[in-house]
Amino acid sequence: MIKHISIKNFAIIENAEIDFDDGLTIITGETGAGKSIVIEAVSLALGSRADTAFVRSGEEKAIVQMVADYDDEEYIITREVSAAGRNTCRINDEIVTLNALHGLCTKIADIHGQYDHQSLLDPDNHIRLVDLYHKEQIDPAKAAVRMLYEEYTALQKELSDLRSRIAENQRQRDFMAFELQEIREVAPFEGEDDQLEETISLLENSEKIYENLAGAYQISSESEFSLLAALKQVSDMLAETEEYSAPLKELSERVSGIYYEFEDTCSVIREQRDRTVFSPEELDQAIARYELIDRLKKKHGRDIAGLLQYAEELDAGLQNIEHADERIEKLQGEIRKMQIALTGACNKLSDTRKAAASELQDLIAEQLAQLNFQNAEFAIDFRSTAGPDAKAPVFTPEGTDVVEFLITTNVGEPLKPLSKIASGGEMSRIMLAFKKIIGDYDAIPTMIFDEIDSGISGIAASVVGRKLREIAQSHQIICITHLPQIAAYGDHHFRISKRSDDRMTYTSVDPLSEDEKVREIARLLGGDNVTETTLASARELIEACHRG
């Protein structure tokens, strides 16, 4: 429930602090005093969209702070809206997103205004109201339908895409086959271009390479005064000294190792020399192969790895074309199976809905009777999404039901859609009947009513007030009204008033004592000219309401 709200620099409200209690809280005031502005402020705190127009003229920002209890925890919710357009949401001093704030606040309070009348008149919303009733049974059935529907639509899309691709692929088939054959005939392997570059470089420089290898081997090993012979002589001399000390032995062994390692190196130089031969044919072949691969790379704008990947894609595409009819037939079979499963899930959901709707229909009729619809009949009509002429239903994520509320308020008149029957005053009472029932099972602790008295007066207003008081036995109710027949039922009463000076307009929200409440009810009964007669009438009305 909402315990407190603080409003600063919001529209024409400079500073207001309101403490709320359990039961039915009534807010009244003259037209234009700012009653709806209080609801706007509460709505902002509960997660509605911010607007710079909320900021009081001449101020930098508007601040609305609300203290509320939910699920045995206290939350301090703060909204700040700056004139520059910045909007900040906080829960317990932690900045949160608007979605996070809205997610919490939809569990705390529900605001009913004129828009709710319109939503109740829209048949598209009727199925949602039915689904709220017995949601424990309906939600799992809806989830099953939604899961199958997603699989069904995915298969339908795959079939549609496949059919669209077939015509295009048939036109491209010869081209795809040609490009695949071209890559396969060249048959490059990854890294082959780098290997060819190295081979070509070696072949083009083979004469120079041979000369250098031959000269190096001559100096190292073949000449009379070769490096290897000199190193052997050095090794032999040191070997004759190694017996005289450990360091000399170590040095001798070290040079001996160098000698044998260099001897191996000379062998490698000789082998490389003997292997180096100039082959014009081999060079021409390597160049031709390299140019062939290079042309293929440039044609497709891909390296060899990309060419190989493209070949795989072409092959897969051709395979799809070759086996498209088989895939279409398989998809059609899967779709038929899914239609059967989805039809079964939709029928189960529809049966669950209809059972809930039957109970809800009786409860609404009972509430309407209590709200002075003595001759009213109410029914929840079910139709299929297929329509009267279609052979099969049209699947939707919500099933195959079309739900509409029907009502007649006069004896002898047939049931007709709610939107074609109810007047504005009747809609207020019908909405209240729904709020009473929905409020009992959606566990939202606070209900806020703005304009609930639109289009009603007299006996109907007393009936609405009595119903609000009944709902307030299990919910916190905050109601803005201009009717004394409703205001008299309040457990707590606030008056909103407006004053102006030469510079600004100010709105204040004041709790009323019992005597002040009587005077306010008298004002609602007789206008600003409050007399002893209107005061007596106000006391009598309050006593009668609280006796009932």
Q: What is the spatial distance between Cα 297 and Cα 14, in angstroms, rounded to a whole number?
A: 74
Q: What is the token pair recorded at 311? A: 């070949």
- What is the per-residue pLDDT across 233-284, written as a single tens digit (0 to 9) for each? 888 898 888 888 899 889 989 999 999 999 999 999 898 888 777 777 888 8
Rounded mean pLDDT of 467-477? 88
User: Using an 8 Å Cβ cutoff, are 320 and 185 in contact?
Assistant: no
Query: Percent of the chain, pLDDT > 70?
Result: 93
Rounded mean pLDDT of 40-51? 87
Q: What's residue 455's pLDDT?
A: 67
> Residue 548 — very low, low, confident or very high, per pLDDT cuts 50/70/90?
low
For residue 173, pLDDT over 90 is answered with no
User: Using an 8 Å Cβ cutoff, are 461 and 453 in contact?
Assistant: yes
* Domains of the chain, first to last: 1-108+444-548 (3.40.50.300), 169-322 (no CATH)
- What is the per-residue pLDDT across 52-69, written as a single tens digit (0 to 9) for each? 888 988 889 999 999 999
Chain position carrying tokens 């006593």: 543
For residue 456, pLDDT over 80 is answered with no
Question: For residue 109, what are the β-bridge partners?
Answer: 446
- What is the per-residue pLDDT across 517-540, written as a single tens digit (0 to 9) for each? 999 999 988 877 888 888 999 999
Which residues lie below 8 Å from residue 308, measured CB to CB, with a gap of 6+?
183, 188, 190
**Distances from the Cα of 260 to the Cαs of 65, 233, 234, 254, 409, in angstroms?**
90, 13, 12, 10, 116
Chain position carrying tokens 């008033």: 497
Q: What is the mean pLDDT of the chain?
A: 86
- What is the per-residue pLDDT across 355-411, written as a single tens digit (0 to 9) for each? 999 999 998 888 888 887 777 888 999 998 876 555 677 899 999 999 999 988 777
Q: What is the token pair recorded at 524? A: 């609602």
The H or E element spanning position 156 is helix 135-186
Q: What is the spatial distance between Cα 446 and Cα 529, in angstroms, rounded to a whole number?
A: 35
Which three-class secondary structure state does DSSP give residue 475? coil
Which three-class secondary structure state does DSSP give residue 147? helix
Which three-class secondary structure state does DSSP give residue 19? strand
